[in-house]
Structure 1
């Protein structure tokens, strides 16, 4: 997982007065003051000394939570009872380097065979039929195709089969204490406490070893900001309501810049002898530069056609801007991808991830 990455439990409020509009913007959290003498990354030589250091680190977490406006009752009900989760730390340290390093680029085809399977397509098509009416409402409301929403759902949790069973406050606190990405995990820990403030029990906050929760695998801060009610009951429950999860995924992608009515891209054939140096992108992306380095400079679909880059199938708007990506290298199927493809990269910044989600989405509707 990466926290662009993938992305909690929603049943906001326990009484009418506690309920909020699931789509209303939340007030910005107050700025967190710099806390002096932050704990250092874990370097203890024994489990006992690690536990002692973690016990002291809880004081910092309490201070951060108070500064962010978390209720004292929530702080006292959670932080004293946190446990250091060594499994989460071990799994985090074992994560491989960034996918799609341009200096070592494995082919996409083996990944595609594993992650865009006939079983995933079949079960996604069944979900499409089962939730068709509600999905069409969400598609119209969010401007994101239902098939793409299901592609995310299938990719993230195999349509709800695998959502994780780690205690999220524990793993976020443990990863913050470990220290490699302290700012990230401390802010997510505070966001998890804010969910409890809103009425979610700690027992509901279960997820991946990195803190991603629910059907969409949202981090706590994303739940707070982009949860959405999809079934019309006034709540946004991404753990137990698939329709709420669909609406929340759609809301996430809309927020990430998805443009209604635009294709994510088209498979294309690149002519033999094509001058790739002439279309190299001279701009280095500030986000996931190694991932975006595999993309050409943007040109209109019409300009690509004039260079002999011909769509294999599907119609498209000649004026849409697109970049070229060749995930299996020259001579194999390539793709012209639009800004909607880049919205998927906001969910998880990996070309292989984005392509597999979108090809799964196409398969679900038989495209």
Structure 2
């Protein structure tokens, strides 16, 4: 899971005494969490601020999929569901089919989504980031946009060092995500999984471990076995959108979930003039509707498993592109 800026970011004032003093706060947080003193002394005194990280963080948009100014999905889809990602994903899927089938039996998560997330996050391991995680997380914590969150992730990065992960391996994005799955350090601690059976869970070098770890994440997020993430649909011109508008305000990522209708069964959607294009979800399966390119374009009925993908990255465009890429990889 990658760090996502809050919808209305609030920057906490800089700690008194500057970054030199703040290092002692980080050391105290690490000690309270049981990090070995040797690890603290090997890292904390040498931390420096990374101005590039601050620049990148402040350049992030304030909202995700702002419902008052919604861009179309199609340009994002063209950028993130490319011929290259499809071709390489299909080759990997075919080469690892037996392994992926075993992962599905073990975790209940459909393999095409695992491969698509892997491709979307790091281009199948090609682009994992070269920022030093302890420095990145200390910088973001000091900056104050989400101080408590990043302090916890900083401590988690030290706990990984305590577990024997070398500092040279703790590289990642400017936002602190690492490895093939682009997990935050706390997620690495909690969910990294041995996929190849060699006794270690190396999400930085083992594709099998990375895919198993993504599966573990989605299962933990509530993935329901044997249910597809969603299907494209055609919406009848006479469809009454007001009748299916959801009145629920989501506590997390409300702008993202505001684009979803209320839940109905697939059978009920059909009766309202929403027709699957090709394959469908089970008739009694609950689904929600999204029209990412507006009225008259392809829409999608989304199962509860779509929300597990949103847990990975709370963006409709991200989750839709993962689903579409996965479907295209396997030719669905």
Report the TM range for the smaller structure's normalisation.
over 0.9
Cα distance in 2 for partners of 1:131, 1:54 equals 47
The corresponding residue for 2:169 is 204
Q: Alignment partner of 1:233: what SS?
A: coil
- Between stretches 307-316 and 343-352, larger displacement belongs to 307-316
Deviation of 1:146 after TM superposition, in Å, equals 1.2
Equivalent runs, 1:320-359 vs 2, <5 Å:
320-359=285-324
The corresponding residue for 2:13 is 41
8 Å contact 1:41–1:177 — kept in the other structure? no
Cα distance in 2 for partners of 1:89, 1:116 equals 29
Q: After superposition, what is the alpha-carbon deviation per residue over 1:153-197, rounded to whole angstroms, capped at 9, x for unaligned? A: 000001111000000000100110111110110000000000001
The corresponding residue for 1:220 is 185
Q: Out of 78, 81, 98, which is 1:116 matched to?
A: 81
Equivalent runs, 1:233-248 vs 2, <5 Å:
233-248=198-213
Cα distance in 2 for partners of 1:94, 1:172 equals 17
The corresponding residue for 2:9 is none
The corresponding residue for 1:177 is 142
Deviation of 1:139 after TM superposition, in Å, equals 1.5
Cα distance in 2 for partners of 1:2, 1:238 equals 15
The corresponding residue for 2:115 is 150
8 Å contact 1:41–1:180 — kept in the other structure? no
The corresponding residue for 2:62 is 97
- Whose relative contact order is higher, 1 or 2, with alpha carbons under 8 Å and at least 6 apart? 1
The corresponding residue for 1:86 is 51
Q: After superposition, what is the alpha-carbon deviation per residue over 1:135-158, rounded to whole angstroms, capped at 9, x for unaligned? A: 211111111111110000000001
The corresponding residue for 2:219 is 254
The corresponding residue for 2:3 is 3
Equivalent runs, 1:52-63 vs 2, <5 Å:
53-63=18-28
8 Å contact 1:4–1:346 — kept in the other structure? no
Deviation of 1:213 after TM superposition, in Å, equals 0.2
The corresponding residue for 1:19 is none
Q: Alignment partner of 1:336: what SS?
A: strand
Q: After superposition, what is the alpha-carbon deviation per residue over 1:236-286, rounded to whole angstroms, capped at 9, x for unaligned? A: 000000000000000000001111101111111111121101100011111
Cα distance in 2 for partners of 1:318, 1:3 equals 36
Cα distance in 1 for partners of 2:150, 2:321 equals 28
TM norm structure 2: 0.96
Deviation of 1:42 after TM superposition, in Å, equals 3.9
- Large movers: runs of 4+ above 4 Å: none
Cα distance in 1 for partners of 2:97, 2:283 equals 31
The corresponding residue for 1:138 is 103
Q: Alignment partner of 2:109: what SS?
A: coil
Q: Alignment partner of 2:287: what SS?
A: strand
Q: After superposition, what is the alpha-carbon deviation per residue over 1:107-150, rounded to whole angstroms, capped at 9, x for unaligned? A: 10111111111111000011112222222111111111111100
Q: After superposition, what is the alpha-carbon deviation per residue over 1:305-339, rounded to whole angstroms, capped at 9, x for unaligned? A: 11111111103211100000000000010001010
Cα distance in 1 for partners of 2:280, 2:317 equals 24
Q: Which runs of 5+ in 2 are unaligned?
A: 6-11
TM norm structure 1: 0.87
Cα distance in 1 for partners of 2:163, 2:201 equals 12
Equivalences, count: 327
Q: Alignment partner of 1:190: what SS?
A: helix
8 Å contact 2:195–2:208 — kept in the other structure? yes
Cα distance in 2 for partners of 1:265, 1:175 equals 36
